[in-house]
Each structure stands twice: as C-alpha cells, then as structure tokens.
Amino acid sequence: MSNYQDEPLKPSRYAFIRWFGFDQFIPEQAVTSYWVSAKVFFTIRFVCALYSTIVFWTSLGNSISNGEGQKFFTAFTNLTFVGLHSYLVYRSDKQVRKYDRSNEDRQTCVAHYFFFPSFMLSIVTPVVFWSLLARGATTAGRMSTWLNVSVHGVSFFLMLFDVIFNRMKLPIRLIVFVLLTVLFYMFLTFIIHATAGFWVYPFLDWQQGPKAAIWYFVVAIVVVVSFFIMKIVHSIRDYIALKTGKIDVVTSPDATEKVQDNTNIIIHENTQKSNTNYV
C-alpha cells in the first residue's frame, strides 16, 4: 500500500468556490498514480503530450494551408482538443519539475479546473463528430484521415489513460461547470454566425426550426451522460485500487465537501461562543 500525503488546499473564503469544490483539489493526486511510479506516470503523460503537440500543430497548419485557418478555433472539437493538449503539456511540465507542495497554490487549482471541461468533454467530441459530422472523414486523404482520427478519436484514449493513471477526484457538482462551458460555447456560435455569417455546425442552424432545438437538447443530454460515465470510471478506478490494497480508504469528494462544510460550521459556532464569553 502506497503512502500518500494528499495535503489539500486551504478552504476558500468564497462560497461559490467551495460549492463547486474547486478548493478540494489535491495537487499530489494529479502527479501520482495507484498503478505506477511517478516517473513512469510522467513518461506516459509526456508521450501523450508529445503526440497531442504534433497533432495540434499539424492540424492547425493543415487548416491554414487549406484556407480555413480562421475557422480552426471556432470548432468545438478543435477547442476541446486544444484544452486536452494544454492540460497534458501543463501537467507534464509540473511533473518534470517534480512534485513540490510549496509550489502548488490556488493558481494551480484554477489552471486545473480551467482545463477540466475540455479534458472531460473529450468523451463528447468523438460521439458528436462520428455520429453527425464524419461524412467522408475517412476518405479525404491520408493526412486528413489521420488528423480526424487523432482529434476525434485518439483524444478520447489520451484522456482515458490520464484518468486511469492519476488519482484525482471528480466532484459531482462540477457537472454544472461543464454545462455552463457548453452553454457558453452555444452562445459563441450565435456570435460567430452574426459576425462571420456561418454556423459552425449545420445542426445548430435555427432556420431548421424545432429540429434545431431538439439537437441542442440532445447535445446537453450527451454531455450529462458523458459526465456520469466519467464519474463511474473514476469510481471504478478507486474501487479497484481499494480492493487491490493500493489505498486503505477512498475519500469521496462529496463526502469531503460535507466534512469541510461541517468543519466550517463548527469553527463559526466556536468563534461565536468565544465572542459571547468575552462579552
């Protein structure tokens, strides 16, 4: 059984940060694994980050050469891949510098949850792309086929490998954060249509009438289902680690949140009692 310190960040003074669980991020869980040493985990992450770097720059260069460079960062699938790529590079950089609790602060926590939606939505993009947008995607030449498979397929496995090997928790309330991210992108597509005159994806075109509204609802359902699939994957990983003796106790992030809230209540009550005694 491995001995992890798992020292959490200090509770935030802001209620919305505590509610989302942003301050429940434990830095050590992001750079250590139940299954392999930190060095092996870094090697796995570095290879994934290197591959995503090659895919990203090749995809961007290919879009520019085809005269579609301006549209590259409008596609949800591309933005999701950019977020996943940024996460892998960021985490690899943290690991190459070695884990140091003194260097892990709230800025790291913010960065982690900034990348999180793109990281988690890597399970959504393959579903949306291959079910709705992939006409001719595998017959458009070797380069385009490789890029499509990498951005809309391999990305899922890059994400899955990292989830399996890291020890990070997934607070269930983060589903609200993910849905807000998707909602923000939906508004962004309207801005793009109003300014550039095109819909990023044809099924988002409101001229289709009720059919478009159904597609928006379907996308929201896919996002919710994908989130809970990821929640199950996290739970299975921790359960196997528990049963194989890798850890003695698996702490649920929701349970941690309740303990944290109860602790804050007790501290507040004790403070009030102390002030009363002085009066």
At 176-186, the pLDDT tens digits run 888 988 999 98
The pLDDT of residue 112 is above 70:
no
Let me know if residue 10 belongs to a domain. no
Instruction: Name the residue among 182, 202, 206, 160 with its Cα closest to residue 79.
Output: 182
How many domains are there within the chain? 1
For residue 163, what pLDDT is reported? 92
Let me know if residue 208 belongs to a domain. yes
pLDDT tens, residue by residue, 197-232: 888 888 888 888 888 888 888 888 988 999 999 999
Let me know if residue 175 belongs to a domain. no
For residue 151, what pLDDT is reported? 92
CA dihedral 105, 106, 107, 113 (to 10 degrees): 120
Report the range of poorest mean pLDDT among 8-22, 31-45, 149-163.
8-22
The pLDDT of residue 254 is above 70:
no
**Residue 211 is part of which domain span?**
15-167+181-248
Let me know if residue 262 belongs to a domain. no
Let me know if residue 158 belongs to a domain. yes
Higher pLDDT among residues 279 and 202, named by residue? 202
Let me know if residue 73 belongs to a domain. yes
* Helix/strand number for the chain, H first, E second: 11, 0
Let me know if residue 66 belongs to a domain. yes
pLDDT tens, residue by residue, 64-103: 998 988 889 999 989 999 999 988 998 888 777 655 454 5
Query: What is the pLDDT of the chain when averaged over all its residues?
Result: 80
